[in-house]
């Protein structure tokens, strides 16, 4: 018989607060058109994107995360000293070690929390949220800060007509803590590594450095049509599985917050899932672009700030991207 004592966590976990940070520079499509042969109409029709935010040198991954985290902590009514773990999802922090989560934890005033980074692309927020829920329920942390942050402008090839207009920068954060009732549903997550070539970094770092830093700086590239088909058809199935796992139907939803990859993908998923008209759909991509791991918390924060969604609403969130990886769950909004 095991001598290990049972965990003393909360029976359930919930999102207690959310915060976001968007860089001050707003970049319209006209700026993108300076380096690619396209048009504003083409970009809008293909992606739904009109503007995006690009970070200044001072708006680092850590700096943006600290700003978003401060807002999330204030929204949750939780002090930095109460944070037991900091999880950061990002693919655009260029320092291999230490994890940027440790710097963020120190800068917000957390006291010796567990702190680590994860790399799960555009599904990273869902991965982090699932880990945070487990920590709270297990009892290894009472409150967990989950951050999705990207400076994708650093990894954008401005001469690539297929991707130059897609990416933006920003940070979104949530505080996860104890709950007396279920407020974060089971996660449906996974990967399809056989499709890893559809979204990838153009050149590995070692290959780039082996050339003495010559040639183009590594950037994100993707096979647009293959990604579109996978996202629309396969991710709609995953979204439905998350609804089923939570024991609800589309009629029970108040809000749908998919990864803000592309407006056409979002609209197609809504149609495939046959979501009723009363469901509020996040379309933050129009003015924020694709911010990868940051897109879901940024969209959530904006919906709540504008009153398009309200505290206590039931929301389906789903992230999907490079890997290919995905994560979907149903949550109660803070």
Q: Tell me the catalytic residues.
A: 122, 259, 290
Task: Residue 286: name the closest of 92, 29, 51 by CA.
Answer: 51
User: Burial of 135 by CB count in 10 Å (0-12 exposed, 13-18 middle, 19+ buried)?
Assistant: buried
Q: Are 287 and 85 in contact (CB under 8 A)?
A: no
Separation between Cα atoms, residue 52 and residue 166, nearest integer Å: 8
DSSP conformational letter for 107: H
Separation between Cα atoms, residue 255 and residue 268, nearest integer Å: 16
The angle formed by the CA atoms of residues 37, 43 and 49, to the nearest 5 degrees, is 140
The verdict on whether omega for the bond into residue 32 sits within 30 degrees of 0, i.e. cis, is no
Residues 294-304: b if buried by 16+ CB within 10 A, e if exposed: bbbbbbbbbbb
Q: Are 255 and 314 in contact (CB under 8 A)?
A: yes
């Amino acid at each position: 018989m095991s001598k290990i004592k049972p965990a003393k966590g909360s029976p359930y976990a919930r999102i207690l607060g959310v915060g976001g940070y968007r860089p001050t520079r707003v970049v319209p499509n006209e700026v993108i058109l300076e380096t690619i042969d396209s048009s504003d109409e083409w970009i809008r029709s293909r992606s739904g994107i009109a503007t995006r935010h690009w970070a200044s040198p001072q708006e680092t991954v850590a700096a943006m995360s600290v700003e978003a985290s401060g807002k999330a902590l204030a929204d949750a009514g939780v002090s930095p000293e109460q944070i037991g773990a900091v999880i950061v999802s990002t693919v655009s922090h260029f320092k291999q070690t230490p994890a940027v989560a440790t710097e963020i934890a120190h800068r917000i005033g957390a006291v010796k929390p567990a702190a680590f980074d994860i790399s799960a692309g555009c599904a990273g927020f869902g991965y982090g949220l699932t880990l945070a829920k487990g920590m709270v329920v297990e009892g290894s942390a009472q409150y967990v800060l989950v951050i999705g942050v990207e400076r994708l402008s650093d990894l954008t090839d401005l001469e690539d007509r297929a991707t130059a207009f897609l990416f933006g920068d920003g940070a979104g954060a949530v505080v996860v803590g104890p709950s007396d009732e279920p407020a974060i549903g089971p996660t449906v997550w996974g990967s399809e590594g056989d499709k890893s070539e559809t979204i990838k970094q153009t050149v590995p770092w070692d290959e780039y450095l082996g050339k003495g830093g010559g040639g183009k700086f590594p950037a994100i590239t993707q096979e647009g049509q293959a990604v579109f088909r996978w996202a629309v058809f396969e991710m709609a199935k995953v979204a439905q599985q998350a609804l089923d796992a939570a024991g609800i139907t589309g009629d029970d939803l108040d809000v749908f917050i998919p990864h803000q990859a592309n407006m056409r993908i979002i609209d197609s998923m809504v149609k495939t899932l046959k979501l009723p008209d009363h469901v509020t759909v996040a379309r933050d991509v129009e003015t924020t672009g694709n911010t990868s791991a940051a897109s879901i918390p940024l969209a959530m924060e904006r919906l709540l700030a504008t009153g398009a969604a309200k505290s206590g609403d039931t929301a389906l969130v789903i992230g999907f991207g490079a890997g290919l990886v995905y994560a979907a769950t149903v949550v109660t909004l803070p």
